[in-house]
Amino acid sequence: MKKLFLFICTLSLSFLNAQDITDALRYSQQNIMGTARFRAMSGAFGALGGDLSALQINPAGSAVFLKSNGSVTLSTSRIDNDASYFDGFFNNSDMNLNFNQLGAVFIYEYNKDSNGVNKFSLGLAYDQTADNADELFAFGQSTNSIDSFFLNEAQGLPLDLITLRSGENIDDLYSFLGETEGFSAQQAFLGHESFLIEANDLDDPDNTSYLSNIAPGVFDQEYIVESTGLNGKFTLNGGAQINQNYYIGFNLNSHFISYDKITQFFEGNNNSGSVVNEVIFTNRLSTSGAGFSAQIGGIAKISNIIRLGASFETPTWYYIEEETIQRLETFGNTTGRVLINPRVTNIFPEYRLRTPAIATGSLAFLFGQHGLISIDYSYKDYSTIQLSSSQGAIFSNVNREINDNLQAVSILRVGTEWRNGQWSIRGGVNYEESPYKNDQFLGDRAGYSVGAGYNFGKFKFDVAYDYVEQQREEDFFPGSGFTNFAVVDSFRDNFTFTLGMNF
């Protein structure tokens, strides 16, 4: 039996261009996730505490617990994507189940009824911060061809560089180009080897200009995206109650990223003069990362009714690694079916990502044991995102694009809870401005939530439903010569279930 060998190629540092503003945003945003009570109130817990997921907003919330407490949470998530692409429209739906949250807070009382330090709290928690699972299908007719992607990458490269030599195979040259020239040269090679593009002068090895073997006209196009993975963090929390009415706390957070994405682009044409009539371009991206952040916060009881909260989360400093695999297939009446499938994994040099810091101010009104209303306002400046590398990769263009296109945003969350005996009824709304100055790229995010809970005494069971929607432009190949995109309306809803226990 023949063995299949997979080559591994480390891309040239000088031509690294796979990372873009979309990647930076993906790992910088956080969703409202956590316990059912937290989600039912849209995450408005900055001045409340007393919930394991409230530590995400304000670490002082651990000291609000009256007893040691633990909880575990499961969540079902469904996402609907309505994709519009020229004359085409398609709805795609996907559902998955996530282990959303697990944690415990341990309370140590000290001078309970006197001034000074009244108690200490120690918290350990895991929280999922983003769900990367997604599916999208877009189709329609366009007058722009994917040939512009490959032409843009090829122009200026000598023909001899992307031409197979005697005894050299596709894997060898694709790997060599990645190691010595970079990502763009690999794309030019794929386009040339599949007959999608051609040199203007086939007899000149120094030729640096190219033309397309696809004639102008109308193109039937399809774009498919499937992604999996999640972002999460592990938190070590410490807190204290002081003088009965003040709470302080800190978090040390260890973050991780797991993201896998497969895209497939199809194009077909019957244009007169086309040498190539079909193109199928497949890309797979695998991303893993680890990071660190810290948080500090405080809560003050101003009166029996009013509580104030304030917290600050540092940027998260990530170390990220990415790998890509590519495959290009073409068909033409004269060329036949051509498959370029390098058995090569491109490994990009590890790079660093600094996400924005977050400052949050909170206000809550408590009406005895009957109910409460809570409001959180957060400020987050996405233009401060920065990519860097200690391995020679240059991100000046990406960082300049981030600074020019992203902005500071306001995030507003409002939640309420009302009790009747052992039952609790909850609701909330949330709103976040677009991180883009031009919100056509990515619109504002808005949602609402409802939920209920029952207190059995030692145990509590909570359930929540939350819904959020956002519009975006899905660029098929960001930063390339092929600028086509689909307009996507995303609707995500979740059912969340939490079992809590005092001990």
For 288-298, the pLDDT digits (tens) are: 999 999 999 99
Amino acid at 406: L
Q: How confident is the model at residue 113 (pLDDT cuts 50, 70, 90)?
A: confident
As a whole-number percent, the residues of the chain with pLDDT over 90 amount to 87
DSSP string for residues in 165-206: PTT--HHHHHHHHHHHT-HHHHHHHHHHHTTSEEES-TT-TT
6 near 344, Cβ under 8 Å?
A: yes
pLDDT tens profile 245-299: 999 999 999 999 999 999 999 999 999 999 999 999 999 999 999 999 999 999 9
Sorted by sequence, the CB contacts under 8 Å of residue 339 that are 6+ apart come out as: 327, 328, 329
Q: What are phi and psi of 435, to 5 degrees?
A: -70, -15
Residue 395 to residue 389: CA distance in whole angstroms: 8
Q: Is residue 238 over pLDDT 80? A: yes
Mean per-residue pLDDT for 435-447? 95
What's residue 4's pLDDT?
40
149 near 187, Cβ under 8 Å?
A: yes
Pick 9 or 363 by higher pLDDT. Answer: 363
DSSP string for residues in 116-165: SEEEEEEEEEEEEEEE--EEEEEEEEES--THHHHHHHHTTS-GGGGSPP
Mean per-residue pLDDT for 411-422? 97
Q: Is residue 115 over pLDDT 80? A: yes
Q: How confident is the model at residue 375 (pLDDT cuts 50, 70, 90)?
A: very high
Q: Is residue 399 over pLDDT 70? A: yes
What's the mean per-residue pLDDT of the chain? 93
Q: How confident is the model at residue 160 (pLDDT cuts 50, 70, 90)?
A: very high
Q: Is residue 6 over pLDDT 60? A: no
